[in-house]
Structure 1
């Protein structure tokens, strides 16, 4: 079945971006992410671009601050507390751990999260439609059915899929639970391997050798920073590695269907602008990422012992040879 659409809708949330900012004084937007890697950096840059397009240019109408927690939830909490003490107009928290830290630190300052897989399960909002409180944002909920279909098309005989994840990340726990729920319908088994820090990622992947036909890496911040370790295990043992986001394909995964994270950042920034202009976060529904792109790494596929069907290859936005 077809698995991708190459078009990426900008969304109604961005329709107002060309108008000028009404405020004469500078506004303060404090941004944080749990770790730095290209996808999360793209979200941050998209937020800043959306603000500028709305008339909030850094140094003129905007004070823009960014800090990374460098992979530490404790540091994420410290950054959130620091931001609350500085009282910006909006806190933008990229990823689930940073969003949880910001939401726990304040009930008064608006918090707009970005790239949170399951904001309800993470305890950030009451529901996607009616968030309530001072928190809302954008979600990169994964198209898991498309991901399973991708694995099956490239590995037709797949029976068991291994998932490397950090059980301390609520977004990853939610993804693994969803995969387990879908597994019977797809006729596959799911075996998970835990890695609580980046140094554990290789050992977690290695524990799957001899047990799985393919390895899947979700949008897990811990694993994403060390995805080469998973790829290395796949190459050494000819186990194809698939990812939930396309950046990991350039780093050695066989294939992924993912979102444009810069566009997701722009969607997040559009929500920040709405808050700056007086809307209450609790009244603003969570915005889901739209559109998807297939990226394929033919060199990795060959090295891991699989072949990408021509029909699937023809749908790819990018092919790494």
Structure 2
């Protein structure tokens, strides 16, 4: 049974804290470091979830909030440029989904709080001291990519049983720039390869450290005779979205991604709209005076498996009923 007195008291405290902490007449300024300015309809929905939640909590762009939108477009060096720019502008908070960008903000000096919406391993990068007590200037949400790789491989095999060789398109340089060591990256890949091997699948690494690496990566897929591709969620693959979608359609090689808005055959990953609403709430806590190091870094509570039958039909694929029954949503 809900204790209504405690509920009312909690709501009153939350509202009171907001009213007391927000400075009347103050023009707040934050920055958003995204991957690419070329948005899909799903991208627009996710970003709207963030902006609308900010407004619901008293921070509206048309009234008391300015958001500086910056996009790296596949160029990792731009994050350092953005970080320096925002430090000099005196923004009050930066939101980003890239550990590379978060590290650039830290390296730029100052103490601008960073709220993330999907960096993979902030603990091993040194961006946080612990999930419960981050301790520095970074908090937000982690997308626990490492934990989901094995499941993505499993679901790919269920959806396309003929798959035997998967190319894992990843950006080792992105990870290194975020603070991860080459040894830790190699160890993680060996774990992924063992998971694939247990399903009778050969997994090989396909490094794409810059958008210009895409042609060479496609050539490698051909040489290795891969019959599926698993995309790591990172800023380079995000920039290459249109290229990957065109590749899947032209070569009829299925892709598994982390995000339904990518437009590929399969996706398995967090509900990003829900994540962005939560990121907005954490951002408001910081704008209202909370320290990022005191706010636990959270993980998403909902993960979605999406099958796009439109793509399957165009590729001439029949998805087994067993896979369709496991999907959270089937796009037809």
Task: State the TM bucket, normalised to the shorter chain.
Answer: 0.7 to 0.9
Match of 2:213 in 1: 200
Distance in 2 of aligned mates of 1:127 and 1:205: 39
Residue 59 of structure 2 corresponds to which residue in structure 1?
A: 56
Q: Secondary structure at the match of 1:120?
A: helix
Q: What is residue 4 of structure 2 aligned with on the other side?
A: none
2:302 aligned counterpart, secondary structure: coil
Distance in structure 1 (CA, Å) of the matches to 2:280 and 2:301: 15
Q: Deviations over 1:66-98 (max 9, x none)?
A: 222332222211111111112222222232222
Q: How far 1:46 sits from its partner (Å)?
A: 3.3
Equivalent residue number for residue 69 of structure 2? 66
* Residue in structure 2 matched with residue 276 of structure 1 by the alignment: 287
The answer (yes or no) to whether the contact 1:201–1:230 under 8 Å persists in 2 is no
CA distance, structure 2, for counterparts of residue 196 and residue 72 of structure 1: 9
Closer/same/farther in 2, CA of residues 203 and 95 from structure 1, 3 Å limit: same
For residue 206 of structure 1, give the secondary structure of its aligned residue in structure 2: helix
Q: Within the alignment, does 1:88 sit opposite 2:88 as a pair?
A: no
Does 258-267 or 227-236 show the bigger shift? 227-236
> Cα RMSD over matched residues?
3.0
Preserved contact between residue 216 and residue 242 of structure 1 (Cα < 8 Å) = yes
Give the one of 42, 49, 60 matched to 1:46: 49
Is contact 2:149–2:192 with CA below 8 Å preserved after alignment?
A: yes
Q: Deviations over 1:121-140 (max 9, x none)?
A: 33321222221112111112
User: When the two structures are aligned, how many residues end up with a matched partner?
Assistant: 305
1:81–1:105: 8 Å Cα contact kept in structure 2? yes
SS in 2 for 1:32: strand
Structure 1 residue 298: deviation in Å? 2.5
Structure 1-normalised TM-score? 0.82
Q: TM-score, normalised by structure 2?
A: 0.79
Q: Does 1:225 align with 2:239?
A: yes
Distance change >3 Å, CA 62–CA 177, structure 1 → 2:
farther
How far apart, in 1, do the equivalents of 2:140 and 2:33 lie?
A: 14
Cross-structure match for 2:230? 216
| Range with bigger deviation, 198-207 or 78-87 | 198-207
Which of 272, 280, 298 in structure 2 is aligned with 1:261? 272
Residue from 124, 127, 149 that aligns with 2:154? 149
User: Equivalents in 2 of 1:133, 1:262: separation in Å?
Assistant: 26
Checking the alignment, whether the CA contact within 8 Å between 2:43 and 2:261 is kept in structure 1 is no
Contact 1:239 1:305 in 2 (8 A): no
SS class of match (1:29): strand
Q: Is the contact between residue 217 and residue 223 of structure 1 (CA under 8 Å) also seen in structure 2? A: yes
Deviation larger for 81-90 or 39-48: 39-48
Instruction: Quote the residue 1:5 is aligned against.
Output: none
Q: Which runs of 5+ in 1 are unaligned?
A: 1-11
Aligned counterpart, 1:113:
116
Q: Rg bigger for which structure?
A: 2
Instruction: Structure 2: state its 5+ residue gaps.
Output: 1-9
What secondary structure sits across from 2:30 in the alignment? strand
CA 129–20 in structure 1, closer or farther in 2 if over 3 Å, else same: closer
**Match of residue 101, structure 2, among 82, 94, 98:** 98
Structure showing the higher helix proportion among its residues: 2
